[in-house]
């Protein structure tokens, strides 16, 4: 298992629960995910990241993952580890 992908999957579950009334729809999802992840993700990346950097990386990961066949947490984890 990939601990970073697991963290991203947990973030996705928490986000969906937080936005249950909209079935997970949230046009500002990168901000929510960054808030959730910023204090937890540094150990997985072996470096610290700011919230704004994390927002940028999440948006870039989303764009880069379009059409990917692997589950999104795995794609995002690989992208984040590479530094975008």
Phi (first) and psi of residue 62, to 5 degrees: -60, -45
Tell me the residue range of the domain where 19 lies: 3-82
| pLDDT 10s digits, 6-30 | 999 999 999 999 998 888 789 999 9
Read off the pLDDT band of 72 (50, 70, 90): very high
Neighbours of 78 (CB within 10 A): 17
Distance from the Cα of residue 25 to its chain's centroid:
15
pLDDT at 23: 80
Our count of domains for the chain comes to 1
Find the largest Cα–Cα distance for the chain: 36
- What is the rounded (10 degree) CA torsion for 63, 67, 73, 78? -70
At residue 79 the predicted structure's pLDDT band, cuts being 50, 70 and 90, is: very high
Global pTM reads: 0.90
**80 in Cβ contact with 45 (< 8 Å):** yes
């Amino acid at each position: 298992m990939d601990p970073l992908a697991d963290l991203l999957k947990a973030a996705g579950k928490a986000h969906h629960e937080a936005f249950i009334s909209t079935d997970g729809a949230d046009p500002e999802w990168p901000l929510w995910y960054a808030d959730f992840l910023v204090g937890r993700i540094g150990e997985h990346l072996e470096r610290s990241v700011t919230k704004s950097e994390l927002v940028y990386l999440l948006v870039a990961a989303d764009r880069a993952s379009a059409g990917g066949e692997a589950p999104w947490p795995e794609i995002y984890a690989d992208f984040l580890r590479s530094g975008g």
